[in-house]
Amino acid sequence: MQKNKLDKNQLIGFILIGIILIGFLIYSNNQQKEAITEAQNTEKKVVENEKSTVAVNTPEPIKPDPDSQAKVELIPFTNDNLDIKVSTLGAQLREVRLKKWTAYDKDNNSHKKPLYLVNKNNSDFNISFKDKNGKIINTRDLVFTPSVQGNEVIFSANLKDALIQFKYKLKGKYSLDFSVFTQGLSKITSVQNALLEWQQNALALEKGKSQETIYTEYRYSLNNYSQTDYDTNGFEEEKDKIDWISVKQQFFATILESQNGFYKSKGTQQSEKEDPDYLKNFVFSTIVPLQKGDIKQNYTWNFLPLDYDLLKSYKTESGDSKQFSYNIPYGWMKWLCIFYLWVYEFLAKFGIAAGWIIFLMTIVVKLVTSPIMYKQYIQGAKMRILKPEIEELNEKHKNSDPMKKQQATMDLYRKAGVNPLAGCLPALIQIPIFYSLFRFFPNNIALRGQSFLWADDLTAYDSIYEWTTHIPLLSSIYGNHISLFTILYCIVLLIYTRMSTSTMQQPTQEGMPDMRFMMYLMPVMFIFWLNSYASGLSWYYLVSNAINIILILLIKNFLINEEKIHAKMQQNKAKPAKKRSRWQQKMQEMMEQAQQQQKQIQEQKAKQQNKKK
The rounded distance, in Å, linking the Cα atoms of 492 and 498 is: 10
Strand partners, 282: 200, 269
Q: Which residues are bridge partners to 257 per DSSP?
A: 244, 300
DSSP 527-593: HHHSTTS-HHHHHHHHHHHHHHHHHHHHIIIII--HHHHHHHHHHHHHSPPPPPPHHHHHHHHHHHH
* pTM of this structure: 0.76
Residues 84, 78: contact at Cβ < 8 Å? Answer: yes
Per-residue 3-state assignment (H helix, E strand, C coil) for 2-67? CCCCCCHHHHHHHHHHHHHHHHHHHHHHHHHHHHHHHHHHHHHHHHHHHHHHHHHHCCCCCCCCHH
**Domain positions in the chain:** 58-329, 343-574, 582-613
Residues 6+ apart with CB under 8 A from 404: 397, 595
Rounded to a whole number of angstroms, the distance between the first and last alpha carbons of the chain is 37
Mean pLDDT confidence for 454-473: 85
| Tens-digit pLDDT profile for residues 443-452 | 999 999 999 9
pLDDT value of position 327: 94
From CA 64, how far away is CA 70, in angstroms rounded? 7
What's the angle, vertex CA 112, arms to CA 464 and CA 310, rounded to 5?
Answer: 105
Cα–Cα–Cα angle for 182, 303, 174, rounded to 5 degrees:
90
Maximum mean pLDDT: which of 182-196, 519-533, 593-607: 182-196
Those residues with Cβ within 8 angstroms of residue 612's Cβ, 6 or more apart along the chain or in another chain: none
**Is residue 207 within 8 Å of 457, Cβ to Cβ?**
yes
| pLDDT value, residue 272 | 81
Give the per-residue pLDDT at 389: 75
Q: What percentage of the chain carries pLDDT values higher than 70? A: 74
548 residue type, one letter: N
> What distance in Å separates the CA atoms of residue 518 and residue 529, rounded to the nearest whole number?
16
Beta carbons within 8 Å of 52's beta carbon, 6+ residues apart: none
> Cα(461)–Cα(346) distance, rounded to whole angstroms?
25
Taking the C-alpha atoms of residue 398 and residue 407, their distance in angstroms, rounded to an integer, is 13
Neighbours of 364 (CB within 10 A): 12
Of all residues in the chain, the percent with pLDDT exceeding 90 is 42
Confidence of residue 180 (pLDDT cuts 50, 70, 90): very high
Distances (CA, A) of 63 to 36, 141, 158, 166, 455: 38, 9, 8, 16, 55
- Whether residue 535 contacts residue 455, with contact meaning beta carbons closer than 8 Å, is answered with yes
Dihedral over alpha carbons 383, 388, 394, 395 (to 10 degrees): 170
Largest CA distance in the chain: 107
Position 166 confidence tier, pLDDT thresholds 50, 70, 90: very high
Q: Does residue 437 contact residue 537 with C-beta atoms inside 8 Å?
A: yes
Angle between helices 582-612 and 402-416 (to 10 degrees): 170
Fold of 58-329: Beta-galactosidase; Chain A, domain 5 (2.70.98)
Q: Mean pLDDT across the stretch 73-91? A: 95
Residues 6 or more apart whose CB falls under 8 angstroms from that of 366 comprise 544, 547, 548, 551
pLDDT digits (tens, 9 = 90+) for 308-358: 999 999 999 899 999 999 999 998 888 999 999 999 999 999 999 999 999
Which residue, among 311, 310, 303, has the nearest Cα to 118 in the 3D structure? Answer: 303
Lowest mean per-residue pLDDT among 250-259, 265-274, 534-543, 564-573: 564-573
Residue 14 clears pLDDT 70, i.e. is over it? no
Return d(Cα 525, Cα 522) in angstroms, integer. 5
- The confidence score (pLDDT) of residue 19 equals 54
State the Cα–Cα distance between residues 26 and 30, nearest whole angstrom.
Answer: 6
Residue 213's nearest CA partner among 249, 246, 245 is 249
Least confident segment among 178-192, 284-298, 481-495, 583-597: 583-597
- Secondary structure element (H or E) that encloses residue 261, with its range: strand 252-271
Is residue 550 pLDDT above 60, yes or no?
yes
Lowest mean per-residue pLDDT among 47-56, 112-121, 232-241, 371-380: 47-56
pLDDT tier for residue 515 given thresholds of 50, 70 and 90: low
Q: List, in order, residues 6 or more apart from 243 with CB less than 8 Å away.
A: 220, 221, 222, 223, 224, 225, 257, 258, 261, 262, 322
- More confident call, 65 vs 298: 298
For residue 218, report the phi and psi dihedrals to the nearest 5 degrees.
-80, 140
Most confident of 10-19, 533-542, 563-572: 533-542
